[in-house]
Amino acid sequence: MKKTALLVSFSLIAFSLFAQKKITTSATVKFDASTSIDNLPKAENKTVIAAINTTTGSLAFEAAVKNFAFSNPSMQNHFNGTNWLDSDKHPTFTYKGNITDLSAVDFTKDGSYEVKTEGVLTIKGVDQKLSAPATITVKGGSVLAAADFSIKLADFGISGAPIDGGKVAKEPKINVTAELK
């Protein structure tokens, strides 16, 4: 009887620890650097790894640079090139941060919660602090996290004639969505 109770206790502890971390390998990051001159600098990556710890509020995502798909192949080549993200030297970009107002979210109750996040975004080997609002939606044990923010390309050492000429936005919009289970 004691062995059974001990086994059940360990199982419950292991289950609760596992349930605290929600992950996915199919989050989406959209990159929109379109301008009034050119609406083509848009890309999407649907193979982003994301995780959230519902107990601590830590969250992270990692995107492979080469997995961003553009409608124009030459834009994809520029995006991965040395003047832009230099994907051979810097194959991923990452975000590691926290929900700063975690008490605003009840991960045990279905609903939509507006939160603030703070962390560090690393692109092309450059770390930049990033604060962004996010929406956490809890539904049936799954967590949908979504955030919209913009970045300054110059902050990450990204420059060039298309940016200076107005064909690519100096501050592209980024959208991240992840359904975590």
* DSSP H stretches of helix in 105-152: none
The H-assigned helical ranges of 100-146 are none
**3-class state of residue 54 by DSSP:** coil
Distance CA 134, CA 53 (A): 15
Whole-angstrom distance, CA of residue 91 vs CA of residue 174: 18
> What domains does the chain contain, in order, with CATH numbers?
21-180 (2.40.128.110)
Residue 4 tokens, joined: 């059974």
* φ, ψ for residue 140, nearest 5 deg: 60, 35
How confident is the model over 156-168, as a mean pLDDT? 92
Tell me the C-alpha distance between 165 and 151, whole Å: 18
The model's confidence at residue 3, banded by pLDDT at 50, 70 and 90, is very low
Would the pLDDT of 81 be above 70? yes
Residue 2 has pLDDT above 90, yes or no: no
pLDDT at 72: 87
- pLDDT value at position 9? 39
Map 12-23 to HEC letters. HHHHHHHHHEEE
Summarize pLDDT for 83-139 with one digit per residue, the tens: 889 999 999 999 999 999 999 999 999 999 999 999 999 999 999 999 999 999 999
- pLDDT score recorded for residue 144: 97
Nearest to 105 by CA among 116, 118, 119: 116
Which pLDDT band holds residue 10 (cuts at 50, 70, 90)? very low
> Which structure tokens are listed for 69?
């798909």
Q: Taking the complete model, does pTM exceed 0.85, yes or no?
A: yes
Residue 1 has pLDDT above 80, yes or no: no
- Going by pLDDT thresholds of 50, 70 and 90, the confidence category of residue 40 is confident
The length of the chain, given as a count of residues = 181
For 12, phi then psi, to 5°, come to -65, -40
